[in-house]
């Protein structure tokens, strides 16, 4: 690793190297940037807080000690700290009086969805702009099986939440295959538009098929999960929190196994170069189809949990901006890197569900200050879309690989193969025939 140059001479070690601040400088120093990504300071809060009161030399040894750990070991520690935080969050929330449990649950469900979208966008490199449609399908599957307005339930077919959950997983995957089968031969940007159109059709159909879905009035109440005799009530957030964490952890485990499997390697090979992957014997259509279907299936989990937690489902919960929020989560954290997506998902989720309101209050407070009265017209709650949009544009311009990129994806997006961009392989489509 590039860290060796630093650990070799302890006297040169900077106490707090602020290297991660230079986001998106020239592409000429990939090694240095790699070092900044692995740098202990952004996340390794534990060693640096210990060292804060100690003399410089000893602080350096703490950082040095951290740097000497193998990358695998460091990642294990970081994941351990992260897992502890997630598991203990309800206690922390209560201890510090944050009152954020009600926001944490939707955030985690969105993170779960982002993980599913990451399979399609990050692993397989297929841009899906209609992921909210699969989310809706997952949620409505549970609603059909449990809510009193559903024709199925009225016909006497009612299922328990625990049965409906895997069914929604399967139904969402099936729709993924159904949409994927005819469209996956399309080129990247056309595929994006097809998924976008699908994402528009599904809420519209839900809105219009009133006999089936109860239209815009939606369905409620939706079946709740229960453990033995105890039902999870909508009012009690903490059991929900642990249920969502458990499903997310299971999903992360499955996705990690998928990533390192034969299929996961095939996805990445295909993403990097379809022709090379095909000539190595990878069945492109089958591989893409599996990415689409499996990616969609995790939104089945998300939809089921979301509908059951809110006890209500309606077509307006699944608009286009949901798809874009999820895409922003994946892109911000680091396309293709599960830990990056977890991070990006939490940040964007917290931003969407918590910070916008607090920041809006802050700005309103500022506007009372003399000279800053113009700030009164800025309503951040109404500016969410603009902030998402800015996040997408700035990420693409400054750091297209995300904050914590996967190594391969970074190489690809940083234009490691400039040849493909300049030597146009095929004949470009013409506005008109210039020979005429």
Partner 1 sequence: MTWYETAIQILLIGLANGAIIALVALGYTLVYGIIELINFAHGDVFMLGTMMSLTMMTWVPSLLGVRRASQIPEPLIPLLVIGTLLVAMVACALLNMTIERLAYRPLRRAPRLAPLISAIGVSFILVNLGLHWKGASPVDFPSPHPSLNTDIFRDILRITTPIFFTVKDLFVILLAAPLMIGLSLFVTRTRLGKAMRATAQDREAAAMMGIDINQTIALTFLLGGALAGAAGLIFGLYNNTAWYLQGFRGGLLAFTAAVLGGVGNLQGAFLGGLLIGVIAAASDFLFDPRWTQAVVFGMLILILVFKPTGLLGEATPERA
Q: Which residues bind partner 1 (CB under 8 A)?
A: 125, 127, 129, 182-183, 186-190, 192-194, 196-198, 200-201, 204-205, 207-208, 273-274, 320-321, 324, 327, 331, 382-386, 388-393, 396-397, 400, 412-413, 415, 417-418, 420-422, 424-432, 434
CB of 392 to partner 1, least distance (A): 3
Residue 39 or 412: the one with the smaller Cβ distance to partner 1 is 412
Neighbours of 346 (CB within 10 A): 20
Say if CB 110 and CB 326 are below 8 A apart. yes
The answer to whether the CB of 188 falls within 8 A of the CB of 251 is no
User: Helical H runs in 155-314?
Assistant: 161-183, 188-208, 210-213, 237-259, 262-272, 274-279, 284-310
Q: What are phi and psi of 118, to 5 degrees?
A: -60, -30
Cis ω before 221 (30° cut-off from 0) = yes
CB of 426 to partner 1, least distance (A): 3
CB of 390 to partner 1, least distance (A): 6
Query: By C-beta, is 88 or 209 nearer to partner 1?
Result: 209
CB of 315 vs partner 1, minimal distance in Å: 12
Cβ closest to partner 1, residue 46 vs residue 196: 196
**Judging by DSSP bridges, how do beta strands 226-227 and 230-231 pair with one another?**
antiparallel
Residue 410 near residue 401 (C-beta atoms within 8 A): yes
Q: What are phi and psi of 230, to 5 degrees?
A: -90, 125
**Residues, the chain, total?**
436
| C-beta of 97 vs 426, nearer to partner 1 | 426
- By beta-carbon proximity to partner 1, the closer residue of 107 and 206 is 206
CB of 198 vs partner 1, minimal distance in Å: 7
Phi/psi of residue 435, each to 5°? -70, -20
Q: Which is nearer to partner 1, 166 or 415 (CB)?
A: 415
How near is the Cβ of 362 to partner 1 at its closest, in Å? Answer: 19
Considering the complex, state which of residue 25 and residue 75 has its C-beta at the smaller distance from partner 1: 25
Q: Which two tokens stand for residue 101?
A: 């449990």
The closest of 115, 121, 44, 81 to 345, measured between CA atoms, is 115
**Which residues, 6+ apart, have CB-to-CB distance to 139 below 8 Å?**
168, 303, 304, 306, 307, 313, 317, 318
- Beta bridge partners, 219, equal 313
Q: How far is the CB of 221 from partner 1 (least distance, A)?
A: 27
């Amino acid at each position: 690793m590039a860290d060796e140059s630093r650990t070799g001479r302890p006297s040169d070690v900077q106490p707090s190297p602020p290297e991660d601040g230079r986001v998106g400088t020239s592409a000429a120093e990939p090694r240095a940037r790699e070092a900044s990504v692995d740098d202990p300071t952004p996340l390794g809060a534990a060693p640096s807080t210990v060292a804060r009161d100690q003399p410089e030399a000893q602080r350096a040894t703490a950082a040095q000690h951290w740097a000497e750990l193998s990358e695998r070991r460091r990642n294990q520690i970081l994941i351990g700290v992260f897992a502890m935080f997630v598991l203990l969050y309800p206690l922390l929330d209560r201890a510090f009086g944050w009152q954020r449990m009600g926001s944490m649950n939707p955030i985690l469900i969105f993170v779960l969805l982002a993980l599913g979208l990451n399979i399609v966008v990050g692993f397989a490199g297929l841009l899906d702009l209609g992921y909210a449609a699969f989310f809706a399908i997952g949620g409505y599957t549970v609603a059909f099986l449990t809510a009193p307005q559903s024709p199925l339930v009225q016909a006497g077919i009612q299922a328990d939440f625990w049965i409906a959950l895997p069914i929604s997983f399967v139904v969402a995957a099936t729709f993924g295959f159904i949409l994927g089968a005819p469209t996956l031969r399309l080129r990247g940007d056309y595929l994006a538009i097809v998924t976008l159109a699908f994402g528009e059709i599904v809420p519209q159909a839900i809105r219009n098929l009133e006999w089936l879905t109860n239209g815009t009035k939606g369905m409620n109440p939706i079946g709740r999960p229960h453990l033995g005799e105890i039902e999870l009530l909508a009012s009690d957030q903490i059991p929900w929190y642990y249920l969502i964490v458990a499903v997310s952890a299971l999903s992360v485990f499955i996705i990690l196994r998928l990533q390192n499997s034969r299929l996961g390697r095939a996805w990445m090979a295909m993403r990097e170069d379809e022709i090379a992957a095909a000539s190595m014997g990878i069945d492109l259509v089958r591989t893409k189809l599996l990415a689409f279907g499996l990616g969609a299936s995790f939104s089945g989990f998300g939809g089921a949990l979301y509908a059951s937690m809110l006890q209500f489902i309606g077509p307006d919960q699944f608009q286009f901006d949901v798809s874009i929020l999820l895409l922003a989560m994946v892109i911000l954290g680091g396309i293709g890197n599960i830990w990056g997506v977890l991070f990006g998902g939490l940040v964007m989720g917290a931003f969407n569900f918590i910070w916008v309101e607090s920041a809006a209050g802050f700005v309103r407070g500022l506007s009372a200050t003399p000279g800053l009265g113009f700030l009164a017209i800025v309503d951040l709650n109404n500016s969410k879309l603009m902030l998402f949009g800015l996040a997408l544009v700035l990420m693409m311009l400054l750091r297209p690989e995300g904050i914590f990129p996967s190594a391969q994806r970074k190489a690809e997006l940083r234009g490691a193969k400039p040849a493909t961009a300049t030597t146009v392989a095929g004949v470009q489509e013409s506005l008109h025939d210039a020979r005429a």
